[in-house]
Every structure is written in C-alpha cells, then in structure tokens.
Chain A
Amino acid sequence: MQIKTMAEYFANGETPEVLFWIGCAGSFDQRAQKITRAFAAILDKAGIPFAILGKEETCTGDPARRAGNEFLFQMMAYNNIQVLNNYGVKKIVTACPHCFNTIKNEYPQLGGEYEVLHHATYLQQLIDNGRIKMKEGGAFKGKKITYHDSCYLGRANGIYEAPRQVLEALDAELVEMKRCRSKGLCCGAGGAQMFKEEEKGSTRVNFARGHEAVATGASVIAANCPFCMTMLTDGVKEAGKEEEVKVLDIAEMIEQNMQ
C-alpha cells in the first residue's frame, strides 16, 4: 500500500478525494497505529485517492485547550490551519473524535473551514454507496458486539447511528450497554485526563465502564476513539476478561470483513 502525502499530490498537481487526518494517537500509539493502518487499508481497497499530511501534521491542540492552555491551542490551530489552507484542503476524515470535534467545530472560527467527517460516518457512507463490499459470513457473524459511544462523537456532536449502522454490516448481534447513546458513560480519558493520573476516588472511570461492557456478555467491544481504546482495554483487563473480550475499532472490524 502506497500512502502519499499532501505534498506529493501537490507536487504532481493532483488533488486527493480526501485528507486522512491521523491524529497524534493514531501516529504514535502502537495500538492506535493498527487502527490507522486498518483505515488506510480500507481507503486503499475501496480505491479512494487519499492523502496524509505526514510530518506536516501536528496536534490539533485539543488536550491543551481542555486543560486550560488556550495559548498553546491557538498556536497549534494557527499552524494547522495554515498548512491545510495552503494545500486547499476541502474534505478531511479522521479516526479520532477529538481531532474531528476540534477541526469541525473549533477551527472554522479561526479561519479553517473544511468538510470534516469522523471515520464512523465516512465508513457508513462507503458501505451505503457500495464502495465497500462486505464478505458473506465474516468473522463477526452472529457474534455479540457491544458499542461504546465516545463522548466527542456522541454527545458532543450527536452522532449515534452511523457507527451502529457500520456494525450492522458485520451481521453481528449488537447488544447495548445500560448507559448508551446520549446516556453513554465516558471512558475517563476526555478533557486531557488521558495525559494525567486520575484524581483520587473510589474507582477508575475506565474500570467502571470496562465492567459494564463486559457485563453485556459481548465478545467484542467496538470503539471509535484511540483514547477510549486504551481506557477500555485496561478496563477489560482489570475485569479479568482480556482473553475472552476484545476491544476493536470499527475500522479494524470492517477491514477484516471486507471483500
């Protein structure tokens, strides 16, 4: 799979259909890198000309902003918007709901206006318009899957159905946790919590969510966010179910099951 950067497209006078915004977790975190590769493989197999920014991509500033460091956020936003606007980027897809939220909702006011899609919505569109075709009776057929709503895709942006429709394409049995959709419980990583130790309490948020997910009896927990991925994987481990229950991103599941 040949992955081209925006600079390469630009040098050849070409324009990709979409820019794949990787995000820092997707770039550096070993577990999230697998999700990045899976989603890139989907785009490749579906024959979609896509680009990445490569070394020109930097943190959107989301964790800095939510921790209270507006200066740092504005610096990161300024630089990213400069790069994106210089390439004339129109459409962005990302597998990170935090990057999605920031670029979609917070960059326009700072001069960065793009069509921004989270990969859940993008995958749903590709399935709906037939650009992705699923295998008959794939690896997840008939399996119990539970879906964890990330806060920044769900409550923050009201996207609850697209990821569920993507999972339906797997022919699996979707079981809901008690707290789902707009009532979904956070994984514990948002608001820059990912980068610090939790405050003291009776338990960890990801342990609580891990137990709830395991209690559904599902063999797969479907996630859509690299931070949720880390937190839920730890939560499942704490519940002693790491052998039986896998935490997978929806992109990984689709990639395994497409023709």
Chain B
Amino acid sequence: MQIVYQLLFLIVLVAAVWLFTHRVLAIRRNILLGRDTDLTDQPARRWKNLLLLAFGQKKMFRNPLVAVLHFFVYAGFIIINIEILEIIIDGLAGTHRIFAPVLGSLYLVLIGCFEILAVLVAVSCAIFLVRRNIIKLKRFISKDLDGWPRSDANYILLTEIVLMLLFLTMNTADQALQARGAAHYLPTGDFWVTGHFVPLFSGLSDSALIAVERGAWWLHILGVLAFLNYLPFSKHLHIILAFPNAYYTDLRPKGKMENMPAIQQEVLYAMQPELAANAPASDTVPKFGAKDIQDLTWKNLLDAYACTECGRCSAACPATQTGKALSPRLIMMKTRDRAEEVGRSKTPDTKSLLRDYITEEELRACTTCNACVEECPVSINPLHIILQMRRHLVMEESSAPQEWNMMFSNIENNMAPWKFSPDDRDAWAQ
C-alpha cells in the first residue's frame, strides 16, 4: 500500500513541476517578445537594489505597519519552504519526518519557528482580507480590479490561510499520535505552537487521528503544488519576478528620458550634411515609439508580469486621483494582458496595445511626475511605457491635441512653447 502512495506522490510531483516549467517558459518567451535593451551596467548598484528593494522590501516600509505584515507572509513563505523539502523527501521515500532523527533537538527549533511563522502568515493574510473586503481601502475597491483581479487577490490570501491551517493541523495530529505512542510517529518533543493544541483531538480514535494527520499532509502538499501552478497565472507571480525586476531596474535619474539615437543621428545629418555623405546606408525604416508590446523593451514586459496590482502607483498618481482615465496600475495590467494575448495567438492579429487596450486619453493625462515609479515596491516603471506610446502617437501618427501641435510649431518658429517673438526673450532685463 505504501508503495502506491509513493508512486502517486511521484506522479503528482512530476506533473506539477512539468506544468509549472511549461508555463514559466511561456512567460519567458512572452517577455522576450519585447525589444532588446542592455541593463547589465553597474552590477554593484544592481545587486544592492536586489538586496534592498526585493529582499529587504525597502519601498514597502513607506507604510511600516503593512510592511511588517507583508514581511511575515514573505518570510513565512520562504522559510516554511524548508519544511516542504522534508515533505517531498518523505513523500518520495515513504518515510515520516525524515529530518527529525538527523537534526535532533534542532528539529524542534526549526518546526517551532515554522509554526510561529505559519500563525503569523495566517493572521496577516486574514488582516489583508479585512483590508480588502471590509475596510475597503480605496486602491482595492477601484474599478481597475473589477472581475478576475479582485477574485485573484482573495483566492491567494484564502489559499495561504488554508495551507497554513493544514500545516498546523497536520502537526497537531502528529503530536497527539506521538503522545499515544502510535507506530511510525516517533516522539520529537513538544512543538512550540501545536504542542498546546493536542487536547483538541483527545476525543478521536487512533485511526481517525491518523486519517486527520494523513489527510492534512496530503491536502497541504497537493495544495502547495496546485498553488505553484496557480502562481504564474496570477498577480502572485511578483514573489518571483520582484527579484529580477529589482536587479534590472533603470539606474538613470528618474527625470532622464530614454534617448533615441536614430533621431539624434538624423538631426545631426540635417544640421551637418557633410557628415551624411559618409554615413552607412541603412535600408530598414526605423519605427519610432511603441504601438504594441513588441515595440516596448523586455524590461517593460517583465514589469508587467511582476506587477501585483497593489495600486500604490495609482493611489499616488495625480491623474488617477483627480478622476482622469489614466491609472498606472491599469497600464501595467493591460500591457501584461496584451503580452499574454500575443504570446498565445499562433498568427499575428490586427489588434495592438494602443487603442485596443490603452487609449490616447489615458496616455495624455500623464504629467510625467514619476510618483508611480517612486511608489512601486517592485521597481516597475509605468511612465516608460506611457512615454514610448506618446512617441508613437506623435511621430508615427501625427496624433496630438491641437494645443500640442501649436506648442510644437511655436517651439519650431519662435524657439519657445508660446507665441512670443524671440527678440523679446531678454525683454525682462530692460
């Protein structure tokens, strides 16, 4: 009978890992649909960002209370995974708590820490559910999240609570069985948290208790493997992509826009035609700005997949706050949705990120104030996408509000965005 469980476990594990890998490769392919950009300079600064922003969650601490709760869930998630390792070895080898005899008293300390973290994770997730669904924080009830995204957030929190409770139930039943001297349940000493809850199970028979312990064990690991495969279809993917996103984040001052060397070159040739004669001929017509996801950089698309839809960007955005159509969070969600659509379709479609997903009205409401960039805990830059799309609108489609066209022509003709005579430029000094 034991060998059947072991085989079953192996099959489930291999299937879960295979499916997860398959999805991860699809996401990688989608991200690489973006154009190339070199973000490997200054490795020391990049490692520092990875440590501070991703591991240290520096930006989260702009709101310390939420940061601490989030840190519990994050630390719990990473540290409790050591326990998953034991569960996987037990499942494959048919053993029970294989680390216990090896680690001796250290085992008790480890499990104790896991249990405390499990309680903290469950409590924090419960508080997060309350913030989302009962206190109804503005950024969580925003229409940005209507439909699937709002459910997604709740599913993640509920799943984490359930997984933690299963883990604690499993340990409590184990402790009860140990106390009764049941076969295979070797004494480990009292677990720090669940050791106190053993009396809860005093009314159960040995076989019922074993059923509870085994049931919780299986549901927990099946839940973990199912969650592993839910992850890359969900906003929860940020737990992985926050790390590369912090490493590859733009190191330029926030106010510096990306240069366009092709246009710089063209202007240079216009100004100094003698240089143009020796210029290498190019037969490709360059594209200016971004109309679809292929025109954005791979980092923009990595940003989109790293977004956890927390809405700190939109809560700080002057346009969103004053009821404009623009919401930087939606810019990221729409970019990801479009990347998914392009990645899935076998043949090119006639849609594009511009207009089918993001409207001109949204793009034109941006004040380039960088509040969204400043706020993002996982180093996403919605502004970079907005500015590339504005470049497409103006340079490829000549689409700009009338006032902007007047501003352009004033700059061209009067060297200032307003219609004043250049001769009066120093009139203030008279």
A199 with B324: CB separation less than 8 A: yes
Contacts of A191 in B (CB 8 A): 366-369
In Å, the complex CA distance between A205 and B321 comes to 8
B367, B400, B417, B428: the one within 8 Å of A151 (CB): B367
Contacts of B423 in A (CB 8 A): 55
* Interface positions of B from 247 to 261, Cβ below 8 Å from A: 252-257, 259-260
A28 with B424: CB separation less than 8 A: yes
In Å, the complex CA distance between A138 and B401 comes to 46
A58 with B415: CB separation less than 8 A: yes
* Contact A105 B252, CB 8 Å, known A55-B422, A190-B367: yes
A54, A76, A101: the one within 8 Å of B426 (CB): A54
A68 with B268: CB separation less than 8 A: no
B316, B324, B390: the one within 8 Å of A200 (CB): B324
Contacts of B412 in A (CB 8 A): 72, 75
In Å, the complex CA distance between A172 and B286 comes to 55
Can you list, as one digit per residue, whether each of B344-370 has a CB less than 8 Å from chain A (1) or not (0)?
Answer: 000000000000000001001111111
In Å, the complex CA distance between A117 and B425 comes to 21
At the interface, yes or no: B416 with Cβ under 8 Å from chain A? yes
Residue of A nearest to B391 (CB): A68
At the interface, yes or no: A252 with Cβ under 8 Å from chain B? no
Contacts of A26 in B (CB 8 A): 428
Residue of A nearest to B271 (CB): A78
Interface size on A, residues (CB 8 A): 70
* Interface positions of B from 240 to 283, Cβ below 8 Å from A: 252-257, 259-260, 263-264, 266-268, 270-271
Which candidate, A33-41, A161-169, A213-221, A242-250, is the interface stretch facing chain B? A33-41
B256, B417, B424: the one within 8 Å of A63 (CB): B417
B-side interface mostly = helix
* Contact A205 B319, CB 8 Å, known A67-B400, A78-B271, A156-B255: yes
B429 with A74: CB separation less than 8 A: no
A64, A194, A203: the one within 8 Å of B411 (CB): A64
Which candidate, B125-133, B207-215, B402-410, is the interface stretch facing chain A? B402-410
A188 with B420: CB separation less than 8 A: no
At the interface, yes or no: A112 with Cβ under 8 Å from chain B? no
* Contact A67 B390, CB 8 Å, known A185-B318, A205-B318: yes
Contacts of B420 in A (CB 8 A): 27-28
Contacts of A195 in B (CB 8 A): 403-404, 406-407, 417
B422 with A76: CB separation less than 8 A: no
Contacts of A188 in B (CB 8 A): 318, 322, 367
At the interface, yes or no: A12 with Cβ under 8 Å from chain B? no
Give the distance to chain A from B126, nearest Cβ to Cβ, in Å: 29
At the interface, yes or no: B116 with Cβ under 8 Å from chain A? no
In Å, the complex CA distance between A110 and B253 comes to 16
A189 with B367: CB separation less than 8 A: yes
At the interface, yes or no: A204 with Cβ under 8 Å from chain B? yes
B425 with A57: CB separation less than 8 A: yes
B374 with A155: CB separation less than 8 A: yes
Contacts of A27 in B (CB 8 A): 416, 420, 424-428
* Interface positions of A from 94 to 123, Cβ below 8 Å from B: 101, 105-106, 109-110
B368 with A151: CB separation less than 8 A: yes
At the interface, yes or no: A3 with Cβ under 8 Å from chain B? yes
In Å, the complex CA distance between A189 and B392 comes to 22
Give the distance to chain A from B400, nearest Cβ to Cβ, in Å: 6
At the interface, yes or no: A197 with Cβ under 8 Å from chain B? yes
B270, B324, B395, B418: the one within 8 Å of A28 (CB): B418
At the interface, yes or no: B371 with Cβ under 8 Å from chain A? yes
A-B contact count (CB 8 A): 208
Q: Which of A52, A57, A196, A197 neighbours the largest number of chain B CB atoms within 10 Å of its CB? A: A196
At the interface, yes or no: A130 with Cβ under 8 Å from chain B? no
At the interface, yes or no: A192 with Cβ under 8 Å from chain B? yes
In Å, the complex CA distance between A196 and B425 comes to 22
At the interface, yes or no: A71 with Cβ under 8 Å from chain B? yes
Contacts of B387 in A (CB 8 A): 66, 68
A75 with B267: CB separation less than 8 A: yes
Residue of B nearest to A57 (CB): B425
At the interface, yes or no: B325 with Cβ under 8 Å from chain A? yes
Give the distance to chain B from A22, nearest Cβ to Cβ, in Å: 8
Give the distance to chain A from B261, nearest Cβ to Cβ, in Å: 9
Contacts of B426 in A (CB 8 A): 3, 5, 22, 27, 52, 54-55
In Å, the complex CA distance between A152 and B403 comes to 23
A105 with B256: CB separation less than 8 A: yes
Contacts of A180 in B (CB 8 A): none
B321 with A208: CB separation less than 8 A: yes
In Å, the complex CA distance between A26 and B255 comes to 21
Give the distance to chain B from A133, nearest Cβ to Cβ, in Å: 25
In Å, the complex CA distance between A78 and B269 comes to 11
Residue of B nearest to A52 (CB): B426
> With A28-B418, A78-B271 given, can you name 16 additional A-B contacts, CB distance below 8 Å?
A27-B426, A28-B420, A55-B422, A55-B426, A66-B257, A67-B407, A68-B400, A71-B263, A101-B256, A151-B371, A156-B254, A202-B322, A203-B322, A204-B322, A208-B318, A208-B321
Q: 9 A-B contacts, Cβ less than 8 Å apart? A: A27-B426, A64-B417, A74-B264, A78-B267, A109-B259, A151-B368, A156-B253, A158-B253, A199-B319
Question: When A and B form their complex, which 5 residue pairs have the shortest distance between CB atoms, in order from nearest?
Answer: A156-B255, A202-B323, A191-B368, A68-B394, A68-B390
Point out residues on A near B: beta carbons under 8 Å: 3, 5, 22, 24, 26-29, 33, 36-37, 40, 52, 54-55, 57-59, 61, 63-72, 74-76, 78, 101, 105-106, 109-110, 151-152, 155-158, 182-186, 188-205, 207-209
Point out residues on B near A: beta carbons under 8 Å: 62, 252-257, 259-260, 263-264, 266-268, 270-271, 288-289, 316, 318-319, 321-326, 361, 364-371, 373-374, 387, 390-395, 400-401, 403-404, 406-408, 411-412, 415-418, 420, 422-429
